[in-house]
Structure 1
């Protein structure tokens, strides 16, 4: 009788891993094991823990071990599109990390460790396409955060602490079951909150872009004063709404991360 077969998945050897190291544009060493059909975290890569970037995206990995803390030089960690239900507490020791992408997994709020708030140098955090029904208010401690993806989860509210992040420029929380405002006053408050999180500041626009936006705004105001129009959903010309589909969103985030 033959042995019972376990889950199918490609076995990564140290030789395969070494051959998968690439040099990034800034001279860093990137270990790219994406789209390899991996089902378990390959222990052999712990011998390559001095790399600057680790890409394990688009696999079938269900668990990240606590030994991830061996990668102390890591600046970029991409785990999107796997089957992760939680992250290890030891991820909070990766103090050099500025990019963390765990979108399109099965992460629950319980599986998101409090230690993630220890990543003081984190610039980009993508938690989209998961099973999160709440976000810890302590994320407000990530003062270097520029972008955060919360799209396609089960969130009903966003912690006020995120409003106070000094460097946050983009927050994508599309397609969450936020409660619908019950009256006009609540609707206005909701709009103000969204503007605070999403609108581009004038100082970040070039002169031509600023003029274009102002011309559109003047044209809208003129039209509104001349011809009454039926009620319509508020529109914000300056609203930043990045594409949150798994395929297109990841490349955009990587490019932005490299530019920071």
Structure 2
């Protein structure tokens, strides 16, 4: 039997953990404890407050410590291919986290805390190969999220929170019992990412002469198929004094008069 390994799995000491820290090409400190037969999360590593990245993938960890959120220096956390059944609420305290991989575990929707929505800086989240059928509605607050893995789960419909994630550009929903195809999802993301012009109803009395002229030119240009008349009417021509009063006449959005800002 290998040294340090018994019925409770490999025991990781603080000394072992410190020796396993390496500097990445980006200048970050990464602690790699992958494929070591670890069953119990080594709480001693929470003392390593200078670690930016933690790789505990391909072990047999069943539970994360309730105070995992105290590992506040983490930017990158990889826990894929373990035996996790839930994630503690304190995960939401990892404010600097940008990448989280908890795929290929035993997670159910009940095991995902609402505090996942507190990870405001999260860019990549992998939840694939679990037993999920819904996501916490709080995830709609993940404004920075760009990539989301939901493959090989139990989703029968697209989680509503995805519609609120405006920076999300890649979602993998393959091998779920969905009525949608992956192409449908990709199309939804493409449509959502297309910029939409905001227009407002503003009374002409609240515009200076130059701003009114510009709005009129833009309306005529759209009606004429993009052909512009008159002068340039750029932002530099706007009257600063009148700009402050632009929205006094605001009534409803999406009208035919363009906004002045």
**By the TM > 0.5 criterion, same fold?**
yes
Which runs of no fewer than 5 residues in structure 2 stay unpaired? Answer: 196-261
**Aligned 1:46-125 pairs, distance under 5 A:** 46-125=46-125
Determine if the alignment matches structure 1 residue 176 to structure 2 residue 168: no
Q: CA deviation at 1:6?
A: 7.5
Return the index of the structure with the highest Cα Rg.
2
| Number of residue pairs the alignment of both structures matches | 191
Give me the whole-angstrom Cα distance separating, in 2, the residues matched to 1:16 and 1:6: 16
Q: CA deviation at 1:163?
A: 2.3
Determine if the alignment matches structure 1 residue 140 to structure 2 residue 140: yes
Check whether the contact 2:137–2:160 (CA below 8 A) recurs between aligned residues.
Answer: yes
Q: CA deviation at 1:49?
A: 2.9
Give me the whole-angstrom Cα distance separating, in 1, the residues matched to 2:109 and 2:186: 23
Task: Look up the match of 1:196.
Answer: 188
Per the normalisation by structure 1, the TM-score is 0.68
Q: Which has the higher helix share?
A: 1
Q: Which has the higher strand share?
A: 2
Q: CA deviation at 1:197?
A: 2.4
Q: CA deviation at 1:24?
A: 1.1
Task: Look up the match of 2:33.
Answer: 33
**Runs of 4+ deviating beyond 2 Å:** 5-8, 190-194, 197-203
State the secondary structure of the residue aligned to 1:58.
coil
Determine if the alignment matches structure 1 residue 23 to structure 2 residue 15: no
Give me the whole-angstrom Cα distance separating, in 2, the residues matched to 1:198 and 1:59: 37
Check whether the contact 1:134–1:155 (CA below 8 A) recurs between aligned residues.
Answer: yes
Task: Look up the match of 2:159.
Answer: 159
CA 1:53–1:191 in structure 2 vs 1: closer, same or farther (change >3 Å)? closer
Q: CA deviation at 1:164?
A: 3.0
Q: CA deviation at 1:25?
A: 1.2
1:67-95 C-alpha deviation (Å, 9 max, x unpaired): 21221111000000000000000000000
Which runs of no fewer than 5 residues in structure 1 stay unpaired? Answer: 181-186, 204-260
State the secondary structure of the residue aligned to 1:171.
strand
Check whether the contact 2:166–2:192 (CA below 8 A) recurs between aligned residues.
Answer: no
Give me the whole-angstrom Cα distance separating, in 1, the residues matched to 2:31 and 2:102: 17
Check whether the contact 1:50–1:71 (CA below 8 A) recurs between aligned residues.
Answer: no
1:187-240 C-alpha deviation (Å, 9 max, x unpaired): 9xx96554122689799xxxxxxxxxxxxxxxxxxxxxxxxxxxxxxxxxxxxx
